[in-house]
Amino acid sequence: MIRKVALVIATVLSLRAATVTSFDPGWRFLKSDAPGAEAPDFADDAWRTVNVPHDWAIEGPFDQKNPAGGAGAFLPGGTGWYRRHFMLPDADANKRVFIDFDGVMANSDVWINGFHLGKRPYGYVSFRYELTGHLKFGPKAANVLAVRADNSARPASRWYPGAGIYRHVRLIVTDPVHFDHWATFVTTPKAAAGAATVRVESRIVNQSQMPRAVSLEVSLLAPDGRTVKTASTPSQTLPPGKTADVQLEFAVASPALWDLDHPNLYRAVAKVRAGPATLDEQSVPFGIRDAHFDAATGFWLNGKNFKIKGVCLHADAGGLGTAIPLRAWERRLEQLRLIGVNAIRTAHNPPAPEFLDLCDRMGFLVMDEMFDCWTVAKNPYDYHLYFRDWSQTDTRDTVMRDRNHPSIILYSAGNEIHDTPRADLAKQILKGLVDTFHEADPTRPVTQALFRPNVSHDYDDGLADMLDVIGQNYRESEILAAHAAKPTRKIIGTENQHGRDVWLALRDNPPYAGQFLWAGIDYLGESRAWPQIASAAGLLDHTGAIKPIGYERQSWWSDKPMVYITRRVAPTAPAAVDPGYEAQARRAVQTLYSDWTPANTAAHEETVEVYSNCEEVELLLNGKSLGVKPLAANAAARTWRVPYEPGALRAVARNKGATVASYELRTAGKPAKIILKADRTRIAPDFDDVSTITATVFDEHNVQVPGADPLLHFQITGPGTIAAVDSADNVSHESFQAPERRAFQGRCIAIVKATGIGRILFSVSAEGLGRGGLTVEAMR
């Protein structure tokens, strides 16, 4: 059973009594196998020096013969080694030392000074090893941490997974008496505007050789930093080698609740005390909120009932691969929020912990998903090979890591699981997973993205009803019928297409709590054939720009008045696709163009669609009205057949007779110049901060030229580097690391990182278009 708690917290950000050192910089890397490289004295002087997070596969090259195939974006796999040399002071000799990996793709083995610490097959989970007992101390004693990541067996994924130590790494040095890993759990058994109850529970470990008298002290800090309350447990004697579970509760008057518009975060500062001494300390941000699902009315947050308007996201960010600076994710989420998105499904695996921190701070809801398969394979070398041995451990670790995030409202046990036709097998597995979720976090419901449940009889054989909230991919009429057959079922769409009928199924049915669209952003992989290297199923392209279907979605999901114009053009050729993916492939064939520059300049008619959430829209061509059309009750786009003539096509949206939004397309002339625009002109010299610079080709009148595809050359001087270049072209095989990129439909991007403090000068040039430039300031 789920213990109804209205909680939660975010990831532990600091351990003040412990020493937490970033282990991101200074690794030596070899992109091949190296037998014996775990040995401390192995010769690695010739290896390449890299910082992590690092994704070696994104460096390419693209090759039709790469064994990952289209599923892996035709990018390479193989085996890679990382080695990090480090020293520890003598003062740490009597302490406990741990290494934390947020994620290594995949089949990782880790050694310290030649001692094998362990193996983790699943590349999406975080894990810790203890190094104590295998270390050397002192100014002349070198230690070597070695990591082998084996991605040689492909295909192992249905999308691009990256390769290597692609998330952060930390070294932790603690007192022998300390908090257990991921043990601190903050819940709010009561959460309301008038009052809340905050419960902080944890586990203290005594790894010393003697009994210790210890207590738990917790201070609650309000979002503005004020100390709300401080309390302590009575001191207790903890024998060597033993643990103690400890707990405190606080009454908080008039709390600042966490919600989508006001993602207020408190902080719990928890300390392990031994008399006046602090042995360990954790500072834990948390949010107070009440979230639950109702069978009749859907989703509720803090007493408010609204639809979950979600998207599914894979773990790559285009040219950055899977080693993604947090600012790149923030920019993408900002774009999705403009459309009206309020929720993210981490398809189909646990995300990086800092991504969840970001969702906490920005006010997004999250479905935290575990697996894309159980024991039945989708690829020859995917997780089915390890599921029986590792799924319980991976699930427990992930839930304990993630259970303190206020953004998370659902866990998912799997996506389109092919075990379900064998009901006895699937139900046994699902029970074990659901029990593990609930044991580690009794406060949140568990769902699963059911795959054609009427075919596998999930609604009839009892499997679906083992879930706290029933999730189904696509086939909206089926899940609505399942609810009608049993109205006590809580239901959600875990994966849905972009069509208007799909939206109406959600809008017009109160029990239907929400939907997660496939997909939020174009992503690398899941290509059906060369030369395509990415899926075009997103509301955003993989540079993060909103596509026309994104604006259509905005007209349905956003409350802010908006209007947008696009031309609908019949596809020039049908897509050749596998059965079952027809709808997705049709979306991959571009039919919507937001320009008034058709290739055909002779007399003809254009089909013009206008997306708006406003009461009426008037369309004008060169100042002449083409008519006014009202908002359709069925959410259909307003459509005109417009005789083409060059000039300006303008849409004016009105509410109650007042103009509230407008949008204009103008016919483009010949390419004349390149204009640069940075999403931010000040960045820090930190992995997680970047500036995304968009280079756009304009004509002499500052109209974007949609057909322009010149090769753009980038230059950078000062304390900065180009981390990646990219465009929205899903069939381009250009290197993401090159200092040049061909524009696609008049546009491409460069992502810039700071390497120090000072002024970064960035410029672009192309034959016949001159040079453009801008400045980015790098500062702390």
Which residues are designated catalytic? 416, 495
- Tell me the angle at which helices 326-339 and 353-362 cross, rounded to the nearest 10 degrees: 40
User: What are the distances in angstroms from CA 611 to CA 311, 520, 594, 598?
Assistant: 20, 19, 11, 20
d(CA 154, CA 59): 17
Burial class (CB in 10 A: 0-12, 13-18, 19+), 430: buried
How many CB atoms are located within 10 Å of the residue 237 CB?
11
Residue 551: left if φ>0, alpha if ψ -120 to 50, beta else—which one? alpha
CA pseudo-torsion sign 346, 348, 350, 355:
negative
Contact 681, 327 (CB under 8 A): no
Q: Residues 160, 524: contact at Cβ < 8 Å?
A: yes
Sign, CA torsion 362/367/372/375 = positive
Strand intervals (E) in 121-225? 127-130, 143-151, 169-174, 177-179, 185-191, 195-206, 212-221
Separation CA 332–CA 547 (nearest Å): 13
CA distance 363 to 264: 9
Q: What's the start-to-end Cα distance of the chain, in Å?
A: 48
Q: In sequence order, what are the beta bridge partners of 238?
A: 212
- 3-class DSSP string for 290-305: CEEEECCCEEEECCEE
Q: How far apart are CA 415 and CA 481, in angstroms?
A: 21
The crossing angle, in degrees rounded to 10, of helices 387-402 and 423-440 is 30
Which positions ≥6 away from 82 have C-beta within 8 Å? 27, 28, 29, 50, 52, 54, 146, 147, 149, 164, 165
The three-class DSSP label of residue 18 is coil
- Cα 21 off chain centre by: 25
Contact 518, 496 (CB under 8 A): yes
What does residue 174 show for φ and ψ, rounded to 5 degrees?
Answer: -130, 165
- The Cα–Cα gap between 412 and 486 comes to 22
The secondary structure of 343-396, three-state, reads EEEECCCCCCHHHHHHHHHHCCEEEEECCCCCCCCCCCCCHHHCHHHHHHHHHH
Contact between 99 and 86 (Cβ < 8 Å): no
- Quote the Cα angle for 234-240-246, to 5°: 30
Measured between alpha carbons, how far is 769 from 772 in angstroms, rounded to an integer? 9
> What length does the chain have?
780
